[in-house]
Chain A
Amino acid sequence: GENVEQHPSTLSVQEGDSAVIKCTYSDSASNYFPWYKQELGKRPQLIIDIRSNVGEKKDQRIAVTLNKTAKHFSLHITETQPEDSAVYFCAASPMNTGFQKLVFGTGTRLLVSP
């Protein structure tokens, strides 16, 4: 089955710096890669996703890149702000009409200091 590894487990940056979180996956059948942000005591919130037919996707200060050959994908946050502090989860899933199953990484705790 699919296995997703996520690094680093914690990341501390200064406000305005960039943050990068990396994930690797094992199942070459995976073709959908979402990223979720979870603030303390709240639900995971989908912040960006990418499909295997795209190499990069950007939405304002966040971007995701995908390298299918190496089976890894990364989240990039630029100009970080204190409100970006949260736990970020990557996930991978094969997406077809048969089934849908997200396998999550172990999470990265991002702390942005003012």
Chain B
Amino acid sequence: KAGVTQTPRYLIKTRGQQVTLSCSPISGHRSVSWYQQTPGQGLQFLFEYFSETQRNKGNFPGRFSGRQFSNSRSEMNVSTLELGDSALYLCASSYRDRDSYEQYFGPGTRLTVT
């Protein structure tokens, strides 16, 4: 099976702009979670989508939002970008049932805000 894919891989934006990142999960996986990775804060959970519904949310401001489509692909949007939003944004997909907990990560989108 093809792995988790993310587009774009690199992005440079200016403060105040907005950005949309995309994640395509492993075929058959129904859950997509998003994480922010920075040298200072490490890996932090943003939110999880399952069956087109946000199931859980981390401690991030409302500028961070997402959605999931019927084919399980997910997008993450960040509005009014701040310098501190510069990070590697990772998505992870999971089949998510009683017997399958494993999350598999995509390569990430490296966002730089100037």
Interface size class of B (residues with CB under 8 A): 20 to 34
B14-22, B69-77, B79-87, B103-111 - interface stretch? B103-111
Given contacts A43-B90, A43-B105, A44-B105, contact A98 B43 (CB under 8 A): no
A18-26, A55-63, A69-77, A99-107 - interface stretch? A99-107
Closest to B50 in A: A100
Q: How far is the CB of A32 from chain B (nearest CB, A)?
A: 5
Looking at the complex, which one of A34, A42, A89, A97 makes contact with B102 (CB distance below 8 Å)?
A: A34
A29 sits at the interface (CB 8 A): no
CA distance A34 to B100 in the complex (A): 12
- Tell whether, in the assembled complex, residue A100 and residue B31 are in contact, meaning their CB atoms are under 8 Å apart: yes
Looking at the complex, which one of A95, A103, A105 makes contact with B101 (CB distance below 8 Å)?
A: A95
Looking at the complex, which one of A45, A97, A100, A104 makes contact with B43 (CB distance below 8 Å)?
A: A104
Q: How far is the CB of B108 from chain A (nearest CB, A)?
A: 6
A51 sits at the interface (CB 8 A): yes
* Contact partners of B102 in chain A: CB under 8 A: 34, 46, 49
Q: How far is the CB of B8 from chain A (nearest CB, A)?
A: 15
Main secondary structure on chain A at its contact with chain B?
strand
- Tell whether, in the assembled complex, residue B101 and residue A44 are in contact, meaning their CB atoms are under 8 Å apart: no
Looking at the complex, which one of A42, A100, A102 makes contact with B107 (CB distance below 8 Å)?
A: A42
- Tell whether, in the assembled complex, residue B101 and residue A43 are in contact, meaning their CB atoms are under 8 Å apart: no
Question: Residues on B close to A: CB < 8 A?
Answer: 31, 33, 35, 42-45, 48, 50, 55-56, 58, 90, 92, 94, 96-98, 101-108
- Known interface pairs A89-B42, A101-B56; 6 further A-B residue pairs with C-beta atoms within 8 A, sorted by A's residue number: A44-B90, A49-B102, A100-B94, A100-B96, A102-B43, A104-B35
Listed from nearest, the 8 A-B pairs whose CB atoms lie closest are A99-B56, A104-B43, A43-B105, A99-B55, A44-B105, A101-B56, A95-B101, A32-B101
